[in-house]
Structure 1
Amino acid sequence: MATYEINSALTYPISLAPDTELAEILQNVQTIISTMKGTIPLDREFGIDGRVIDLPMHVAQAKLSNEIFQAIKHYEPRVTIEDISFTATLEGRLVPKVKVSV
């Protein structure tokens, strides 16, 4: 099993027909962690809850970790989550990084 790190701050062009199953899986995880709940018209539960925006940093990290874990488990069960970490920007934004095994 190989491990990959997905960073929600990085943007990649979306491929409607990824070359490999691995590329499809990694793109799916990237999409999950970079989408806010409520923004997908036919699936309002898809993505991560943005209501943590005004919470203290440590509380927001705990809630986001749970949200990320649950969302990936539900929408992309082909991966195993190895680690969820965060970096903070100077503006106070939390950027999740997820390590997954495929």
Structure 2
Amino acid sequence: MEYTVSSNSQFRINFGATGLDEIKQNIYTILTTPKYSVPLDREFGITPPLDEPLPIAKARTSTEVIEAIHRNEPRVTVTKVDFIETARNNEDGVIIPVVTFTLKEGVA
């Protein structure tokens, strides 16, 4: 079964989350944490794309999202990274990653 999480999902942090809820919350945290912002784990998170053409930004961000999730949430396999293109404050070119994943065998 495939599940989807995006960085614009509305999550309330649940410190007691388990199973699928914990995994979704972890992926959301990876997507919304800027790389180099965690003092004891500078590699955690993703680098927000800045000042790049959209096709290049999407390609680089897709690769970075897959690698970050693989490194920090080993219970899932990313099957697809899509993007929502939107504008904020009258600026074009904002991309929001949407991650589709499956649970690895043996994960409930």
Q: Confirm or deny a common fold (TM above 0.5).
A: yes
Q: Residue by residue, what CA displacement relative to the aligned partner does 1:13-52 show, whole Å, maximum 9, x if unpaired?
A: 111111x3111111111111111101112111100012x3
What fraction of aligned residue pairs are identical, expressed as a percent?
40
User: Structure 2 CA distance, aligned partners of 1:9 and 1:30?
Assistant: 9
Specify the structure having the higher radius of gyration (Cα): 2
Equivalent in the alignment of 1:10: 9
Aligned: 1:43 with 2:37 = no
Q: SS in structure 2 opposite 1:93?
A: strand
Relative to the length of structure 2, the TM-score reads: 0.86
Higher percent of residues as helix: 1
Relative to the length of structure 1, the TM-score reads: 0.91
Aligned: 1:53 with 2:54 = no
Higher percent of residues as strand: 2
Q: Residue by residue, what CA displacement relative to the aligned partner does 1:45-98 show, whole Å, maximum 9, x if unpaired?
A: 100012x31111000000000000100000001001111000111232100000
Equivalent in the alignment of 2:106: none
1:1-102 correspondence to structure 2 within 5 Å:
2-18=1-17, 20-50=18-48, 52-90=49-87, 91=91, 92-102=93-103
Equivalenced residues, count: 99
Q: Where has structure 1 moved over 4 Å in runs of 4 or more?
A: none
